[in-house]
Structure 1
Amino acid sequence: MSGDGPSSAAAMQGGGFYNRNSALQAANLGSALPLLIEAARDIPADEAMIGIADYGASQGRNSMVPVASAIDALRPRIGPDRPIVVSHIDLPSNDFTSLFTVLDADPASYLAGRANVYPVAIGRSHFGQVLPGGSVDLGWSSNALHWMSRNPCPVPDHGWGVFSADAAVRDAIDAQLDADWTNFLQARAREMRAGGRLICQFMGRGPESHGFEWMANAFWQSWVDAADAGLMTHAELGRIAAPSAGRSVAQIEAPFRDGRSGRLRLVDLAVVQAPDPYWAAFEQSGDAAQLGRVWADMMRAANGPSFAAALDAGRDRDAVLDAVTRRLAARIAADPQQNRSFNVIMMIEAVD
Structure 2
Amino acid sequence: MTENQRPRIAAMQGCGDYNLNSALQSSNLQSAVPLLVDAAKSIAMDPNRPMLLADYGASQGRNSMLPVSAAIDAMRSGREPAGPITIVHTDLPSNDFASLFTMLDEDDASYLRGREGLYPSAIGRSYFDMILPPNSVDLGWSSNALHWLSHNPINVPDHGWAILGADERARDAVDAQLAEDWERFLRARAVELRSGAKLICQFMGRGPDGHGFEWMASAFWESWVDLSRDGLLSPEELLAMTAPSAGRSMAQIEQPFAGGTFEGLRLEFITTIQAPDPYWDAYQESGDAEQLGRSWASMMRAANGPNFVSVLSPTRDKTALLDAMSGRLARRIAQAPQRSRSYNVMLVLAKD
Query: What's the TM-score, normalizing by structure 1?
Result: 0.96
Q: Percent identity?
A: 60
Which whole-Å CA distance do the structure 1 matches of 2:343 and 2:36 have between them?
Answer: 19
> CA separation in 2, counterparts of 1:285 and 1:198?
39
Per-residue deviation, residues 145-204 of structure 1 (Å, max 9, x unmatched): 000010012222211111011011100000000011001011000000111010000000
Show the counterpart of 1:117.
118
Match of 1:72 in 2: 73
Match in the other structure for 2:170: 169
Q: Does 1:327 align with 2:328?
A: yes
Distance in 2, Cα, partners of 1:92 & 1:258: 35
State the alpha-carbon separation in 1 of the partners of residues 172 and 44 from structure 2. 41
Residue 344 (structure 2) pairs with residue 343 (structure 1): yes
Moved over 3 A (4+): 5-8
Q: Give the CA deviation at 1:93.
A: 0.1
Provide the rounded CA distance (Å) in 2 between the counterparts of 1:81 and 1:68: 14
Report if the CA contact (8 A) 1:6-1:153 is conserved: no
Decide whether the 8 Å contact of 2:161 with 2:246 is kept in 1.
yes
Q: Deviations over 1:10-50 (max 9, x none)?
A: 10000000000000000000010000000000122235211
Give the match for residue 139 of structure 1. 140
Q: What aligned pairs does 1:1-352 form with structure 2 within 5 A after superposition?
A: 7-46=7-46, 48-258=49-259, 261-351=262-352
**Aligned equivalents of 1:7 and 1:230: distance in 2?**
25
What is the Cα deviation at residue 225 of structure 1? Answer: 0.1
Asked if structure 1 preserves the Cα contact closer than 8 Å seen for 2:57 and 2:145, the reply is yes
Larger mean CA deviation between 81-90 and 212-221 belongs to 81-90
CA distance in 2, matches of 1:250, 1:76: 36
Name the aligned partner's letter for residue 268 of structure 1: F
Quick check: 1:182–1:260 contact (8 Å CA) kept in 2? no
In the aligned structure 2, how far is the partner of 1:311 from the partner of 1:259?
45
One-letter amino acid of the structure 2 residue matched with residue 97 of structure 1: A
Contact between 2:198 and 2:351, CA under 8 Å: does it hold in 1? yes
Asked if structure 2 preserves the Cα contact closer than 8 Å seen for 1:237 and 1:310, the reply is no
Unaligned runs of 5+ in 2: none
Q: Tell me, in whole angstroms, the C-alpha distance in 1 between the residues paired with 2:70 and 2:270.
A: 21
Cα-to-partner distance string for 1:305-350 (whole Å, 9 max, x where unaligned): 0001122231100000000000000000000010010000111101
2:203 partner SS: strand
Which residues of structure 1 form unaligned runs of 5+? none
Amino acid at match of 1:62: N
Using the TM superposition, give the Cα deviation of residue 303 of structure 1 relative to its aligned residue in structure 2, in angstroms: 0.1
CA root-mean-square deviation? 1.2
SS in structure 2 opposite 1:120?
A: strand
The AA in structure 1 aligned to 2:204 is M
Give how far 1:6 is off: 5.3
Instruction: Give the conservation status (yes or no) of the 8 Å contact 1:182–1:255.
Output: yes
Deviates more, 1:45-54 or 1:174-183: 45-54
Deviations 1:195-254 (A, max 9, x none): 101000000011111211000000000000011111111110010011000000110001
SS at match of 1:270: strand
1:255 maps to a residue whose letter is P
Aligned length: 347
Contact 2:206 2:343 in 1 (8 A): yes
The code of the aligned residue for 1:57 comes to A
**3-state SS, counterpart of residue 15 of structure 1:** coil
2:94 aligns to what SS in structure 1?
Answer: coil
Please give the alpha-carbon distance, in whole angstroms, between the structure 2 residues aligned to 1:228 and 1:258.
51
Please list the CA deviations of residues 229-280 of structure 1 after superposition, one character each: whole Å capped at 9, or x if unmatched.
Answer: 1111111001001100000011000111147830110111000000000000
1:289, distance to aligned residue in structure 2 (A): 0.2
For the residues of structure 1 that align with 2:262 and 2:63, how far apart are their CA atoms?
A: 27
Distance in 2 (CA, whole Å) between partners of 1:166 and 1:6 is: 22
Could you tell me how far 1:105 is from its partner in structure 2?
A: 0.2
The TM-score with structure 2 as length reference comes to 0.96
Instruction: Decide which moves more: 55-64 or 68-77.
Output: 68-77
Contact 2:260 2:266 in 1 (8 A): no
* SS of the residue 2:258 aligns to: helix
2:277–2:340 CA contact under 8 A, matched in 1: yes
